[in-house]
Amino acid sequence: MTKGSAFVIGATGQIGRAAVRALAEDGWDVRAGSRGGGRDETWPQEVRAVAVDREDDTALAAALGDGCDVLVDMVAFEERHAAQLTGLADRIGSAVVISSGAVYEDDEGRGFDTQDEPDGFPQYPVPIRETQATVAPGDATYGTRKIAIERRLLAAGDRMPSTLLRAGAVHGPYCRTPREIHFVKRALDGRPVRVLAYGGLSQFHPVHVSNLGELIRLAAARPGSRVLNGGDPDVPTVAEISTAIDAVMGVESELVIVDGPPPHDGIGETPWGLDRPIVYDMSAAERELGYRPVTTYTESLPATVDWLAAQLRARDWREAFPKLSARYGPGDGPFDYAAEDAWLARR
């Protein structure tokens, strides 16, 4: 006897692979929907792969068929995606939808959307609870679109209870914009130093895909209308992350710590932010779902590093990660070793 039927949209993405696996191993009858209709080699054979483009309302409705007990959505990026789901509410028992910590703003109205402005980086409370203020809904940015999705789904809670998971810095294999590339590529390139601004103390709460899979598994079994943070049990500093990645790769580099912002043209910048920590409170998930993380950042790191290193050995980083490459524009981006060496020489 199964626990019920589950339909996963975005099943072959980074989070989707872990979610399908967690639900199937927990006894759910899972249909794994993706545009290519592919499978992950770690899924149980009972998982049924379905080819569906969620941008096609008719195709999604047809793939959903008579419905499901829980629908899990990894790729809800616009309010119309929420409207799409609520339009199928008569066929969906409950939903679990991936949102983002990018919806939060601090007491001065600063958030992810203002971080490139002068004094625009948010100073959140530590930790951030789900009751923290959020940006206004809209279609201008990733964060405003995510909060619009949240509000549309929560408003339909009487017809389709929905759990919105505000994920932190997602990590694990199959990431299209992996933060860990910052140190993995340096190790592969034989770089002997790691320059870290802000004292090496930057913190951006990570969440491994398997921990998100566990949150999804628990929320599927306990339908409700709620928002919950998604994070790992530990929040390492960028210096700790650098050292941990070096250890996995069997190298030992020198940490050059800069007290304060990058000294020159982005040297010392990392994808983990500034000197203001971003840490999410996980007590609501523990209380409402009985959440207990299945891994820590360090425990999960070897598999992430192995996958990432394999991508980088096979092709240039810009070809391997075009979405990440687009963020940096032309040139060497964060891997401008000549500029780094010149600064080190002057130092």
267 assigned to some structural domain:
yes
In a domain, 3, yes or no: no
Structure tokens at 339: 């500029």
Assign residue 262 the CATH number of its domain: 3.90.25.10
User: Hey, what are 304's tokens?
Assistant: 């992430």
183 within domain boundaries: yes
The dihedral of CA 286, 292, 297, 300: what is its sign? Answer: negative
Residue 301 lies in a domain: yes
Question: Helix %, strand %, coil % for the chain, to 5?
Answer: 40, 20, 40
Q: What does each C-alpha distance from 163 to 15, 76, 148, 159, 326 come to in angstroms?
A: 16, 13, 14, 13, 32
Give the separation between CA 75 and CA 65, rounded to whole angstroms: 20
Number of structural domains the chain divides into = 1
- What is the C-alpha to C-alpha distance for residues 86 and 81, in angstroms, rounded to an integer? 9
Please, which residues have CB within 8 angstroms of residue 324's CB and are 6 or more apart in sequence? Answer: 176, 177, 178, 181, 317
* φ, ψ at 41 (rounded to 5°): -65, -15
pLDDT string in tens for the chain (347-residue length): 689 999 999 999 999 999 999 999 999 999 999 999 999 999 999 999 999 999 999 999 999 999 999 999 999 999 999 999 999 999 999 999 999 999 999 999 999 999 989 999 999 999 999 999 999 999 999 999 999 999 999 999 999 999 999 999 999 999 999 999 999 999 999 999 999 999 999 999 999 999 999 999 999 999 999 999 999 999 999 999 999 999 999 999 999 999 999 998 889 999 998 889 999 999 999 999 999 999 999 999 999 999 999 999 999 999 999 999 999 888 888 999 999 999 999 98
**Residue 52 falls within a domain, yes or no?**
no
pLDDT, position 265: 86
Omega prior to 127 cis, within 30 of 0 = yes
Does 160 fall in a domain?
no
Distance separating alpha carbons of residues 262 and 282, to the nearest angstrom:
31
Answer yes or no: is 137 within a domain: no
List C-alpha distances in Å: 259 to 164, 201, 262, 271, 335: 38, 10, 9, 17, 21
Residues of the domain holding 303: 174-206+234-278+297-341
pLDDT given for residue 2 in this prediction: 84
Query: Would 315 be classed as within a structural domain?
Result: yes
Residue 58's pLDDT is what?
97
